Amino acid sequence: MNTRPRKTDRELEEFRNIMQVPSTFEEGFNWASLVGALFIAVLMVPGALYMGLLAGQGIGPAAQWVTVILFIEVARRAQRQLKKAEIFVLFFMAGAAMGMPFSGLLWQQFYPRSEAATAYGISEWLPSWYAPFADSPSYVRRTFFHRDWLPAIGLIVFSTFFGNLKNVVLGYGLFRIASDIEKLPFPMAPIGAQGVLALAEDVEEKDAEARQKNWRWRIFSIGGALGLAFGSVYLLLPTLTGALTGSPIMIFPIPFSDFTTKTQALLPAVATGISWDLGNLIFGMVFPFFGMLGSFIGLVMTMVANPFLYHFKILTSWSRGDDTIATMFKNNVDFYFSFTIGISLAIAVAGIVQVVRSLRERKKQAPLAAAVQGGGPPSGRGDIRLWAILLCYFVVTTIYIVMSGFLINWHRGVMTVMVILGFVYTPLISYVTARLEGMVGQVVEIPMIREAALIFSGYKGVACWFLPIPMGNYGQMTVFYRQCELTGTRFSSIWKSQLVLYPIVIFSSIFFANFIWGLAELPSAVYPFAQQMWELQAANNSIMYSATLGEYSIFEQAFNALYLGAGMLFGLGLIGGMASLGAPVFMVYGIVRGLGQTLPHSVLPQFIGALLGRYYFQKRVGLNWRQYIPVVAAGFACGQGLVTTIGVGITFLSKAVIHLPF
């Protein structure tokens, strides 16, 4: 990242100029939105839960496009046209429903009984409001509809409601500052809005001939056909065979093919393999080219570095025969846990420095008072007063702190942490991220703040890790509000839809999580991704949870101040060196992403997609390629989502048959 003023980044400008803000805004919430919420809760939520366990990718984008297209077709047959604002609200509701954390219930029934939690002595310390104790009959019956689960479900309901409220309101306030006052361009926002416009333009065409000339719809259809074809092989086949036979048939291994044991002689301590998901190839074309190039460079650097680290006895835990999961976990404990923290700190420092310098330059160019006077919201956008935003933030944060104090018996050290994270760190990091999103489309995170604060709080046990902590980075929400603005949707439509969606999705999530757990033990062979990845996730989580047990832990083995310092120096040197060479902004973040412990199996197909997009399709299509490919990606997600929905529906029907006792 360059922290000094320099020439315009050409790739950033490509993304900035894709769309312009309309002059009028429309209401997007109506009775169709309520029906949409019910549709999402009944069909999309169970599909998301099931596919997250099967393939690890959920159906987030796919659910959005399936919902939108279905409602467009129903409206068309009712001689009605959905407006852009109505389409965007449906799109938002589907995405918001997929983001609600009730899939966490399925994880919470697994973690207390996982090998890692048991081996590191964490299971016996887990509080009852996280998960019932091991002797609870709910585990034998495989059901959440048991009184032992009431505290855990209640805490999730609490955290979800107030977390969404804080995210929506504070994100809006940050958007007002970054967009209305500071006039930042938000270069990555048009990607998410292009697909909505494609469908809206198709709806607005009055006759079939005009509809055929609509380039967005034709390109969306191409992506949809690709998604249908590939999804039938990659997701539908294993879903149906797993439901009917109990052993899924996979032509393309899910989640990836693991080559680590085959390459260990040449590349010791290096995780190798490839993901066969065609979506990686397509989304590699969507993302900035230099970001994908940086990821590939970072991956190559890791593949070169790990054999040397193994030779010099730094990666000491790795042994021949370890697969990808074991390799990544052991390397994480030996080196990358601390090294990655150092690199992330360097990125955070550079991001904060960039924000401070940009504010100084703006202050020199125009007084802040003048900026505020000229930064009022556009008429009809559905804005609220800034004092209401501040009041909501203060009240919600206070409620979080009170609830955490009740659960933790008002531990003084933990309560101090809550106040600092809620009222100091959260607004600071959220503002920095909002400005970086507005300038270059990137997020900044200061790593391990929560973890370090809880460790130094003096608390003994593991309950502090599961508290509803009033900490978040709400700067990322500003991109969503920009997309809402680009599609001409009133912000009030979004807030109304959240109020309607929340209770419906809560009930649906609990019901279907219970249903899925009742189908088969989790994890098991029926769910390949969960069976392969959940133990790694449990082991990685246990590293941190063990830090507050008051005895020697895996955290003490993984945390190394020397490696952390080396990572920070390396990160600062990388950023400074690339800035002096004038390297694109996206490349710096890409290299950091590719370094260390990013799962390498998706990086290669994404990089191949980036090469195809830049050196083949863009040469043939021209600069319009940046407008086309997001629509192709949206269509692909929609096509794959249709296939996924069919497969999940058939699976649930086959498993829901009631066997009579005679």
Give the tens place of pLDDT for each residue, 619-652: 887 767 777 787 788 788 778 777 877 777 777 6
The closest alpha carbon to 344, from 630, 571, 176, 597, belongs to: 571
CA dist 591 and 567 (Å) reads 13
Is the pLDDT higher at 587 or at 133? Answer: 133
Task: Read off the pLDDT of each residue in 452-481 and give the average, rounded to a whole number.
Answer: 86
Is the pLDDT higher at 362 or at 583? Answer: 583
Task: Read off the pLDDT of each residue in 407-412 and give the average, rounded to a whole number.
Answer: 90
CA dist 56 and 529 (Å) reads 6
pLDDT-derived band of residue 5, with 50, 70 and 90 as boundaries?
Answer: very low
CA dist 543 and 571 (Å) reads 24
Task: Read off the pLDDT of each residue in 258-268 and give the average, rounded to a whole number.
Answer: 88
pLDDT tens for 135-165 read 889 888 888 988 999 999 999 889 888 888 8
CA dist 544 and 77 (Å) reads 55
Is the pLDDT higher at 215 or at 175? Answer: 175
Mean pLDDT value across the chain = 78
* 120-124, 214-218, 304-308, 592-596 — most confident range: 304-308
The closest alpha carbon to 170, from 478, 442, 378, 422, belongs to: 478
Kindly tell me if the per-residue pLDDT of 531 is higher than 60. yes
Cβ contacts of 203-212, under 8 Å, gap ≥ 24: 203/72, 203/75, 203/76, 203/81, 203/82, 203/87, 204/81
Q: Distance from CA of residue 31 to its chain's centroid?
A: 29
Q: Across the chain, which distance is largest between two alpha carbons, in Å? A: 84
Residue 567 near residue 346 (C-beta atoms within 8 A): yes
Kindly tell me if the per-residue pLDDT of 326 is higher than 50. yes
Neighbour tally for 231: CB within 10 Å: 27
pLDDT tens for 115-132 read 888 888 888 888 989 988
Neighbour tally for 605: CB within 10 Å: 20
CA dist 603 and 596 (Å) reads 12
Q: Is 257 helix (H, G, I), strand (E, B) or coil?
A: strand
At 639 the pLDDT is 81
At 394 the pLDDT is 92
Residue 323 phi, psi dihedral angles, 5° rounding: -90, -170
What CA–CA distances, in Å, run from 4 to 217, 296, 351, 570? 42, 26, 11, 20
At 351 the pLDDT is 67
Q: Is the peptide bond before 255 cis (omega within 30 degrees of 0)?
A: yes
Q: Which residues fall within 8 angstroms of residue 360, CB to CB, at 6 or more apart?
A: none
CA dist 15 and 188 (Å) reads 6
At 363 the pLDDT is 63
Kindly tell me if the per-residue pLDDT of 295 is higher than 90. no
Mean pLDDT is lowest, of 16-20, 418-422, 446-450, for 16-20
Kindly tell me if the per-residue pLDDT of 9 is higher than 60. no
Sign of CA dihedral 391, 393, 396, 399: negative
Is the pLDDT higher at 17 or at 32? Answer: 32
Q: Where are the alpha helices (DSSP H) in 410-560?
A: 412-420, 426-440, 449-455, 477-486, 491-519, 528-545, 554-558
At 342 the pLDDT is 81
Instruction: Determine if residue 650 is left, alpha or beta; phi over 0 gives left, psi from -120 to 50 gives alpha, anything else beta.
Output: alpha
Beta strands in 181-277 (DSSP E): 257-258, 273-274
Q: Alpha-carbon Rg of the chain, whole angstroms?
A: 25
Residue 246 phi, psi dihedral angles, 5° rounding: 85, -5
Tracing tokens 């930042």 back to the chain, one arrives at 184
Kindly tell me if the per-residue pLDDT of 204 is higher than 80. no
The closest alpha carbon to 638, from 71, 238, 63, belongs to: 63
What CA–CA distances, in Å, run from 235 to 43, 239, 321? 17, 6, 29
Q: What angle do CA 499, 501, 505 make, to 5 degrees?
A: 135
Kindly tell me if the per-residue pLDDT of 525 is higher than 80. no
Mean pLDDT is lowest, of 36-40, 371-375, 421-425, 433-437, for 371-375
CA dist 42 and 40 (Å) reads 6
pLDDT-derived band of residue 373, with 50, 70 and 90 as boundaries?
Answer: very low
Task: Read off the pLDDT of each residue in 395-415 and give the average, rounded to a whole number.
Answer: 91
